[in-house]
Amino acid sequence: MTRVEASAGPPANDRDLGRALKLAWSLPSADFYATADLATAKRIGGLLWLIGWVFVVVLLPVAPPTEHVGDLGWVFVAVTLLGTLGLVYRLTRMPDLVTPNELLLSSYLALAYLALLVWLGGTDAPYQQLFVLTVLYTCAVHPPRRLVPYRVALVAAACAPIAYGAAGGRDVAELLTALALWFALGGVAALFVSIVRVQRLGLAAGERAARTQARVDPLTGLGNRRAFDETLARAIAGARRADRPFAIVIADLARFKSVNDRFGHVEGDRCLRQVADALRKTVRGPDACFRWGGDEFALVLPSTDRASADRVAARVSRAVESGVALPSGSALRVRCGSAQFEDGMDAEDLLHAADAALIAAKGGGPDVGAAAG
């Protein structure tokens, strides 16, 4: 998706306005529509079709559709009025079934319908005034890039009387004036909506960044405890649905408090960052590693049984010892405990099992201890 920076308010100057327009123009249609309440927009579209329907019905007695085809014009109008009611029902009662492409298609149908009404009713018929409804609505709903062919179609539909010679000099002047006004009103609507869309995308991007940042440990760049809890919950749900194993590993840095006490927190932070780097290089793609606590790290290992988790724990231990050196020159040691998710377990049970394995590892001496069953 196109990246959009958040904005606290409307553009403050021409430069900001131009930037907003450029971003709105470059947005994929899906992103543009994603920031809109399309269900409400579709219902409003249905309401505008109904308003147009009422206007046509009111105007028919004073501007009958018989200028060129006689009574056949009444047949056309009757059929299209019934079809309009069907479209109104679909837009207002079943908006979820209407796609943005269908919504745009209805705008093109409105142009064709009005152009035919103008032809059937004659140049003096007031149907042409209804163009403003579809212009304002279409420009307020759809992305700027999709409005370019629509505007071309608008010019063709509105200027049709000139093409078939039904408009005189004054009529042409009035038509071009109305067309210029519709273009101006539609442009203002598109401009306003585009700025709103860009701002909403910016705010959404800012919210996503904030949510992501809230789940990242600022020192190591690994996921924090919140991210671990959420990932663990998803892993448990996935294991229950798919009936497949997964495991976790908890790693604790041996006597890390003495590192801070002897060498200071700056060196301690450096060691923690190096441990995080070692974890990233050790785990495979689907696995996820986290800073679980002050000097504790955790791994979530999808599709992994207990034996494989023990092997991952052993690799983690070797990677940390070989890749992280204390200021004194000695290696930083790590103890690991692993546990496999079993039927009937919840997150707390799994963590207790891994914690018990970690305690056993600390007490027994080896880097990887036997996990509690």
DSSP codes joined into one string, 138-150 = HHHHS-HHHHHHH
**pLDDT for position 167:** 63
What does the pLDDT look like over 274-294, one tens digit per residue? 999 999 888 877 788 999 888
Query: CATH 1.10.287.180: does it fit domain 225-364?
Result: no
Mean pLDDT (whole number) for 358-362? 86
Mean pLDDT (whole number) for 21-34? 78
Residue 12 CB partners (closer than 8 Å, separation 6+): none
User: Considering the chain, what is the average pLDDT of its residues?
Assistant: 84
User: By C-alpha distance, which of 198, 200, 308 is closest to 249?
Assistant: 308
- According to DSSP, the β-strands at 296-302 and 288-291 are antiparallel
User: By C-alpha distance, which of 228, 351, 342 is closest to 279?
Assistant: 228
pLDDT surpasses 70 at 18? no
**pLDDT for position 79:** 95
Residue 103 is encoded by which pair of tokens? 């919504």
Element (H, E) at 51: helix 38-59
**pLDDT for position 370:** 36
User: By C-alpha distance, which of 249, 340, 255, 338 is closest to 298?
Assistant: 249
The torsion angles phi and psi of 328, rounded to 5 degrees, stand at -75, -10
pLDDT surpasses 90 at 199? no
CATH 3.30.70.270 domain range(s) in the chain: 225-364
pTM of the predicted model as reported, rounded to 2 decimal places: 0.59
Edge-to-edge strand ranges of the sheet holding 288-291 = 288-291, 296-302, 246-253, 334-340
pLDDT surpasses 90 at 31? no
CA-derived radius of gyration, the chain: 34
**pLDDT for position 208:** 67
**pLDDT for position 142:** 93
State what percent of residues in the chain have pLDDT above 70.
87
d(CA 93, CA 321): 66
pLDDT surpasses 50 at 312? yes
- According to DSSP, the β-strands at 288-291 and 246-253 are unpaired
For residue 298, the cross-strand partners are 250, 290
pLDDT band with cut points at 50, 70 and 90 for residue 5: very low
Mean pLDDT (whole number) for 133-161? 93
Count the residues in the chain: 373
Cα dihedral value 24, 30, 34, 38, nearest 10: 100
pLDDT band with cut points at 50, 70 and 90 for residue 326: confident
Label residue 228 exposed, middle or buried (CB < 10 Å: 0-12, 13-18, 19+). buried
For residue 119, the cross-strand partners are none
Per the CB < 8 A criterion, the answer to whether 11 and 17 are in contact is: yes
**pLDDT for position 12:** 44
Residue 85 is encoded by which pair of tokens? 């009611």
Strand segments (E) across the chain = 246-253, 288-291, 296-302, 334-340
DSSP state of 216: B
**pLDDT for position 248:** 94
Q: Which amino acid makes up residue 351?
A: L
DSSP state of 330: P
Residue 289 is encoded by which pair of tokens? 């590693």
pLDDT surpasses 60 at 3? no
